[in-house]
Amino acid sequence: MSIIDVRLLYQTLGMIAGVKLLYCGMCGDFRAPNPNPDIWTTCRCGESKVRWIDPYAGTLSVDTSNKDKVRVLGLHNGMIRASMEKSFNSEQWREFTEYLTSEAEGYLFHKDARNCPFAFVRIGESNDTFFEDYWQARQERIRLQKERDAKQPETTEEATST
Ligand SMILES: [Zn+2]
């Protein structure tokens, strides 16, 4: 394969957006958040929960009984895609990793930051991970739903009276 082909291949595989997983240090579980932001995903021991705030923006929130015991693991998408679609040898993996980390400007993966296509982060250490209180968030969703339900009949009345 020529150098140009390699570069093209890496560019198609090298999308930066990543997968984020909750790691609960109390039970050792890794959990992927549900794509639906209204649904929390709980680890095996039940002490940590995660949900997307906005799956498209990659913002995520975590609730836990012990803030020192949870991390988010970010995985570079290019790494995941390559592992599914290619069978690189070790040298190709090193070259690919070098490419991913040098192209990941503004991300923790970047060679001037972690220099690694995986990154364990404390919640709040990156600008897209937050702590959120599960019950408070749940109450807020219930309140918003009640607001929407309360508005519904008014709209119907207006519609029928005109
Ligand atoms: Zn747990």
Question: For 4-18, what is each residue's pLDDT tens digit?
Answer: 555 666 666 656 567
Tell me how far the alpha carbon of residue 10 lies from the centroid of ligand 1, in angstroms.
36
User: Which of 64-73, 75-84, 153-162 reaches the highest mean pLDDT?
Assistant: 64-73
Helix (H) or strand (E) holding 53: strand 48-54
Tell me how far the alpha carbon of residue 138 lies from the centroid of ligand 1, in angstroms.
20
Task: Tell me the β-bridge partners of 70.
Answer: 24
Structure tokens at 57: 């923006």
Report how far residue 27's alpha carbon sits from residue 87's, in angstroms, rounded to the nearest whole number. Answer: 33
Tell me how far the alpha carbon of residue 68 lies from the centroid of ligand 1, in angstroms.
12
Residue 42 or 162, more confident: 42
Q: Which tens digits make up the pLDDT trace of 47-60? A: 999 999 988 888 99
Predicted TM-score (pTM) of the model is 0.78
Tell me how far the alpha carbon of residue 149 lies from the centroid of ligand 1, in angstroms.
35
Contact residues for 122 (Cβ-Cβ < 8 A; gap 6+): 71
